[in-house]
Structure 1
Amino acid sequence: MRRRSVMVRSAVVAMIGSLSAALASCSQPAAPAAAHTPASIAPLPERGAAGQTADADLSALERCIAAGQCQRVHTETFSNATIEIYQQSSELPAVHVVTTYADGQPTVWSLKEEHAASFLGLTCGLANCLLDVVVGPETRASIDMRMVSHALTGRIEGAAVGPALSTQAVDLDADGVLDLVSAKHLVQSDGTELFYYQTYLNDDRQLTTTGCTAPSTDATPPTALQTRTCP
């Protein structure tokens, strides 16, 4: 009987070992190719007509400004609209974009909560603006911002996020819409640091990577879309 119990226990241990190995195999990371897929951030909800922005959003921002928790960090003035950007300092930082149209009430569009952000810069062209922020812990993102029905709309595009030394909004294909140039670097085995630039095409508000410049110790930002394979 004792020998039979030992055999049963041995069989159970063997079964557990096989099951553990199977589970470990199922939990292995995806194929290496997937590691090159750009990090992604879920798109933000769009803000369409001006009436879609609740008065409560503007009132909450006014209280934040009065309390000294929200500071204006940027102002952009157009012929028929003004954009003011406020940085909220809190446990989860927030960026509030206030758009005031010539014949309308101010509207508020915010990056907060799961999209908690810190403002870096805003560059505007003929057809759009690119808002540069840090979202979450340390994820840099560029957001295409456009005026639609008297309100500013925005969307975070996955292709424009990820590690970068800096980003620059440039119209690389001369279509009047700002594209994106991202500066990156490589550290070789001997410790030499090389720099290169990655370009993104803004195609119908989708920031899609097109290629990279050749790594160099003294890289120059490109003035056209690149097609060379990225490191």
Structure 2
Amino acid sequence: MGRRVIAASVAVVALCLAAVVMVIRAQDPAPQAGDEPTPASIAPLPEQHQAPAPYALTKEEIDRCVAAGQCALVHTEKFSNATVEIYQKYAEQPEIHVLTTAADGKPTVWSLQDEHSASFQSLTCGLANCLMTVIVGPETIATIDMRMVASQLTGMIEGAAVGPSLATTDVDLNEDGVLDLISTEHLVQADGTEALYYRTYVNDDRALVPTGCTVPSPTPTAPTSLQTRVCPAVP
């Protein structure tokens, strides 16, 4: 008789535990197989407003730097009401100075220098913005978004490091009139062979946000639209 009572008690306890497990599972459903982590936004470079900071160079100082052979004009972009000149200062910490001369105002300068020192690579302009590509630190490419405001190119230095990458291409991938970005990246596959792939970034209110990648291949084809495929894991 005692054994029957013990067996019945064990059965009751087992049923209670099973019920508790079922309740917990109902409250915490298993993740769906299709769930993908959302790509994180690229961290922005510190913002620098259009008005020159106290340590920013003036046009006269840039002229003196050029005359001394320390600075060189590396790019000129002409718009209907403004001219943009980009000067590179060659030093242990290279500096970039962007001089904007508008038809209806005095020249303005804003710079990448000191802890934001960089080397100029290229400037590409579209209908609504320009993207300036620079090298910051060892092999790190940064892309800086600049917009046309009040008939002159104004800089809000909010670009972001998108490297290390082999190269970048500025192109309007979603046809909204604003330049987006494609970066070319390198991958060593499991069998030891090397492949290339492209990562796309959408220009979302001055932030370059990654959207996805193409399939790695020895000879990949550059995308013409924003990609959504999951990118290869970076070791």
1:43 aligns with 2:21: no
Q: Aligned AA for 2:133?
A: D
For 1:18-33, what aligned pairs fall within 5 Å after superposition? none
Count how many residue pairs are aligned between Structure 1 and Structure 2.
192
Q: Which whole-Å CA distance do the structure 1 matches of 2:181 and 2:50 have between them?
A: 23
Is contact 2:85-2:98 (8 Å) kept? Answer: yes
Q: Which residue, 155, 168, 171 being the options, matches 1:153?
A: 155
2:145 paired residue number: 144
Give the structure with the larger helix fraction: 1
Q: Alpha-carbon deviation of 1:213?
A: 0.6
Closer, same or farther: CA 147–38 of 1 in aligned 2, 3 Å: closer
1:198 paired residue number: 199
Q: Which whole-Å CA distance do the structure 2 matches of 1:124 and 1:206 have between them?
A: 16
Structure 2 unaligned residues grouped into runs of 5+: 1-38
Off by >4 Å, runs of 4+ in structure 1: 36-39, 52-56
Is contact 1:53-1:108 (8 Å) kept? Answer: no
2:26 paired residue number: none
For 1:1-231, what aligned pairs fall within 5 Å after superposition? 40=43, 42-47=45-50, 57-149=58-150, 150=152, 152-158=154-160, 160-231=161-232
Larger of the two Rg values belongs to structure: 2
Q: Which whole-Å CA distance do the structure 1 matches of 2:44 and 2:90 have between them?
A: 22
- Give the TM-score of the pair, scaled to structure 1: 0.77
Is contact 1:171-1:178 (8 Å) kept? Answer: yes
Is contact 1:198-1:226 (8 Å) kept? Answer: yes
Q: Which whole-Å CA distance do the structure 2 matches of 1:105 and 1:53 have between them?
A: 16
Is contact 2:98-2:109 (8 Å) kept? Answer: yes
Q: Alpha-carbon deviation of 1:37?
A: 6.0
Q: Which whole-Å CA distance do the structure 1 matches of 2:153 and 2:107 have between them?
A: 9
Q: Alpha-carbon deviation of 1:148?
A: 3.1
Q: Alpha-carbon deviation of 1:191?
A: 2.8
The share of aligned pairs that are identical, in percent, is 58
Q: Alpha-carbon deviation of 1:41?
A: 5.1
Is contact 2:42-2:209 (8 Å) kept? Answer: no
- Give the TM-score of the pair, scaled to structure 2: 0.75
Q: Aligned AA for 2:68?
A: A
Q: Alpha-carbon deviation of 1:98?
A: 0.8
Q: Which whole-Å CA distance do the structure 1 matches of 2:88 and 2:75 have between them?
A: 9
